[in-house]
A and B are shown apart, each in its own frame.
Chain A
């Protein structure tokens, strides 16, 4: 385990609302680290809508999800946030008044005075294929991510899917596999053309197999896969031996560990005080799509507002002795210094 990272605030979620929280906290001299399960910032804007238009950001008639993430990253640059991507916060332990010890699934720990949950719809997790009896194999011989390539050396590997993840791992694991089979529902791939060409060349050279169809059944015992059945579009079934399977069907949002943090919830949403966006646990805040209160609207602009009010209360926890004077970025020299514009 690494040394504990000390910061004023830990923000869970690096979507637009988490990113803008850095700005509002930064104006009040509060430093933040952010953790996000995705390997990139932007949250849903990056994962679901990178090229889709957003029409309801005040003052910006039209921007894409990617564009908004980029603009927010530019806006918060003066505050030097630190990002911990590809990690999921698992536990929040109260160790002071208020002081928290926060742990991620990679074993990283943070000590912070406040925690801001800006987790949107929860955490993006791999879609699990609805194959009967798949559960006992998961994490034993069916994996939704590759943690260590070496674990796959010498194995009969089956990769399922047609996107970049499926193709990238096909190309990375083929050289160390005993035999690799790529299974996709149709003979057309949405991955990068270069990856598609490389995969096709390997198939043509007889170095791997490509099967068109959908996995219909698994065979094995005690979590160890032995074979999978592939059903083609005419219903014909082929049995393929494999001792490791990697299904890549994209991501879906699940509430995840938030449910275990002793927070008052209402239908998978965190209840907050509308003047501070603090939860029932003092020092833990929830902003953006993850929270609920009377009249709540799941809008990015609402999340921005919630972040501004949250920062006011967090200031009390980080600087209990300091009085907070409300200022405008337009006219305050001290705020402009923080922004690096004077």
Chain B
């Protein structure tokens, strides 16, 4: 199974195994990455699962869809590498993915 590394804003690092086809958000919740809130449970409607994709991975992960970009309007400290983790699906190609989490998801 592919690995994903979450680096939380306080420096806590979680390197975890991720199920193929699952989302980065689901992977975070399964592994107690507490700075991913995911209030809407993966509906792309709440913007509380934002991550900053590591620069080296941004090209592979790709930009947000228009719908996701709209949702990012209700997130804070949005950067060019911001993505909603519920919208990133784990593939073999993402083995080793690194994402960072913000200090605040709106709650």
Which A residues have a C-beta under 8 Å from some C-beta of B? 44, 48-49, 52, 121, 127-130, 161-163, 184-186, 188, 190, 214, 233, 249-250, 252-254
- Tell whether A130 pairs with B74 under 8 Å between CB atoms, given A49-B40, A250-B46: no
CA of A127 to CA of B71, assembled, Å: 13
B35-48 Cβ-contact flags toward A at 8 Å (1 or 0): 00001100101111
Asked whether, in the complex, the Cβ of B46 is within 8 Å of the Cβ of A48, the reply is yes
8 additional A-B pairs beyond A161-B73, A250-B47, beta carbons within 8 Å, are A129-B76, A184-B73, A186-B73, A190-B73, A249-B76, A252-B107, A253-B39, A254-B107
- B residues 49-99 in Cβ contact with A at 8 Å: 69-70, 72-78, 80
Smallest CB separation, A214 vs chain B (Å): 7
Asked whether, in the complex, the Cβ of A252 is within 8 Å of the Cβ of B43, the reply is no
Smallest CB separation, A90 vs chain B (Å): 20
Which B residues have a C-beta under 8 Å from some C-beta of A? 39-40, 43, 45-48, 69-70, 72-78, 80, 103-104, 106-107
The residue on B at minimum CB distance from A215 is B76
* Listed A/B pairs (19) with beta-carbon separation below 8 Å: A48-B43, A49-B40, A52-B45, A127-B76, A130-B76, A130-B77, A130-B104, A161-B73, A162-B73, A163-B70, A163-B74, A185-B78, A186-B69, A233-B80, A249-B76, A249-B106, A250-B47, A250-B74, A252-B48
The residue on A at minimum CB distance from B43 is A52
Q: In the complex, which of the residues A121, A162, A186 contacts B39, with contact meaning CB atoms closer than 8 Å?
A: A121
The residue on B at minimum CB distance from A252 is B107
The residue on A at minimum CB distance from B107 is A252
Smallest CB separation, B24 vs chain A (Å): 19
Residues of chain B with a CB closer than 8 A to A188's CB: 69
